[in-house]
Amino acid sequence: MQITRRELLLGAAGSMLVLGAPALVRAQQLFRAYPFTLGVAAGDASADGFVLWTRLAPEPLEPHGGMPMAPIAVQWEVAADAGFKTIAAKGEALARPELGHSVHVEVAGLQPDRPYWYRFTCGRERSMRGRVKTLPGTGASVDKARFVVLGCQHYEQGLYTAYGHAAREDADFVFHYGDYIYEGRSAPVAFDYGGNPKKFIRAHVGEEPFSLDDYRRRYAQYKTDTDLQAAHAATGWYATFDDHEVQNNWVGDLDQNGTPPEAFLLRRAAAFQAWYEHMPVRSTSIPKGGAIQAYRRARMGDLLDLHLLDTRQFRTDQPCDDGFKPRCAGWDAADAQVLGSPQEAWLTRNLVEGRARWNAIAQQVMVMPLDRRTAGEPEPIRNMDSWGGYDRPRERLLRSFAGHGNVVVLTGDEHQNYAGELRTRGGQGDAVAVEFVSTSISSGGDGADLRAGSDKILAENPCLKYMNDRRGYLLCEVDREQWQARFRTVDTVSEADAPVKTARTATVVHGRPELSLS
Ligand code: FE
Ligand code: CA
């Protein structure tokens, strides 16, 4: 039997571990396979830095990513140029087994409002290169921002073609509204909304995740996609989570199966840890006691405040037993919460005290309380897992938007594009903001320009101006006078290489919470 020099070294490293010799193992002795299989990422940029992320996983679908149970030193570099001629910062971080051998580096001390390039090295191995921009300084005069809004990336339901296009948009940043993974077990043969069987695309590995290792494997599988890796490497992200990072339509300590809360919270804690391990977020988001601090703000000079919300963790149970339902008693319950009091007070204070030209509310579930009737049902129907099921919290939210004339809500979850005006009093009152609901990267499959029944929804909801059922993302270009949102779509995610196009452009003029479409 031939033993390669690498295997010999690996064996030597292994026996060192057994003997309890140096806990910190030198990487060049370790990797039989490339360790940066999950790519790189950056995020949560500030004016002087950002978070850099990678995770060592030479065998991404194996337990612990194929890593030895020891901390591994990883070197990182930040350069002022794509060729790494001028190094602006560098250092060493530990990839710890406690955190799935993920690496989170919080880089500080950089220049504001400029791009940087970064990479990781571990022994003889080097990661791909990523690019990320620092924010303009607080209060700095800023004329323009260009960013992408996306999420909902069911791996089995479509290729990540839209991610490949998003990577080429030259965006200052990406806002991800969640559903980065889906927790379902492998069920690749599915049907479209018309009941027709869909083409096989690709399958989840494994059962529905419950343990930390299960969730780690699910993230690892998703992150091996090279279009997703390209979208991370292209720019910095602000990542949030929605329901499928844990389980469909969970809120607070409740899942949708009636699991005892104390049991569900253990699963949620595992899912939160895996989310932290795989996202380029700051150490303030390391889960503590089973909870996670995810709501936060990013400020683009004097142009734009980005308020990133958590609409799952502090929410009260969906009324009417969840789903798309006619009115029930809980619809306007006095004690209903979506954000919870502390987050709601934080957001209201941000809006009152903020001086930015625009406020972007970066969140997950639709705020417009749309009547979802498509087939002549007698009573209005709402999506109880959206703000439409929470009348009082929604009206409070809209009151906090009133008078600003500069609030734009950015939403996901629906797997369709929508654009509309947010009007008080259940849609009957004044418009106080606009809402853009971005479609999905892949969830739902190919789709159509308009889903069956959507003409009725458009007719019954005067606040709603646009619907579209293609996969893709939202590209926002914001200047001091107007906000343009381009619905960027691909015609197929079941065949590779679909081109991207702008299905529609919506424009908001500063000071006027209304939409025009072109
Ligand atoms: Fe989704
Ligand atoms: Ca969702």
pLDDT at 192 over 90: no
pLDDT digits (tens, 9 = 90+) for 152-179: 999 999 999 999 999 999 999 999 999 9
Output the CA 207–ligand 1 centroid distance in Å: 19
Output the CA 188–ligand 1 centroid distance in Å: 16
Task: For residue 134, give the DSSP letter.
Answer: P
At 198, is the pLDDT very low, low, confident or very high (cuts 50, 70, 90)? confident
pLDDT over 90 percentage in the chain: 88
Around Cβ 22, how many Cβ atoms within 10 Å? Answer: 11
Output the CA 249–ligand 2 centroid distance in Å: 7
Which ligand gives the minimal distance to the CA of 180?
Answer: 1
Which ligand gives the minimal distance to the CA of 157?
Answer: 1
Output the CA 470–ligand 1 centroid distance in Å: 14
Lowest-pLDDT range, 26-30, 120-124, 219-223, 302-306?
A: 26-30
Mean pLDDT (whole number) for 249-265: 97
Higher-confidence position of 318 and 185: 318
**pTM of the predicted model, to two decimals?**
0.94
Which ligand gives the minimal distance to the CA of 242?
Answer: 2
Which ligand gives the minimal distance to the CA of 416?
Answer: 1
Mean pLDDT (the chain, rounded): 93
- Give the 3-state secondary structure of residue 166: helix
Output the CA 7–ligand 1 centroid distance in Å: 43
Output the CA 481–ligand 1 centroid distance in Å: 32
Output the CA 124–ligand 1 centroid distance in Å: 39
Residues contacting residue 464 through CB under 8 Å, at least 6 positions apart: 368, 370, 418, 419, 420, 457, 458
Output the CA 317–ligand 1 centroid distance in Å: 19
User: Strand 464-479 relative to strand 144-150: parallel, antiparallel, unpaired?
Assistant: antiparallel
Higher-confidence position of 87 and 11: 87
Output the CA 24–ligand 2 centroid distance in Å: 40
pLDDT digits (tens, 9 = 90+) for 311-369: 999 999 999 999 999 989 898 999 999 999 999 999 999 999 999 999 999 999 999 99
At 461, is the pLDDT very low, low, confident or very high (cuts 50, 70, 90)? very high
Output the CA 205–ligand 1 centroid distance in Å: 19
Q: Residue ranges of the alpha helices (H) in 178-302?
A: 212-223, 226-234, 261-278
**If you search the block for the tokens 């000071």, which residue do you land on?**
511
Which ligand gives the minimal distance to the CA of 152?
Answer: 1
pLDDT at 373 over 50: yes
Measured distance CA(447)–CA(416) in Å, rounded: 9
Which ligand gives the minimal distance to the CA of 441?
Answer: 1
Measured distance CA(57)–CA(99) in Å, rounded: 12
Output the CA 42–ligand 2 centroid distance in Å: 23
Q: Are 359 and 351 in contact (CB under 8 A)?
A: yes
Which ligand gives the minimal distance to the CA of 250?
Answer: 2
Mean pLDDT (whole number) for 198-225: 95
pLDDT of residue 191: 74
Residues with CB in 5 Å of ion ligand 1: 152, 179, 443
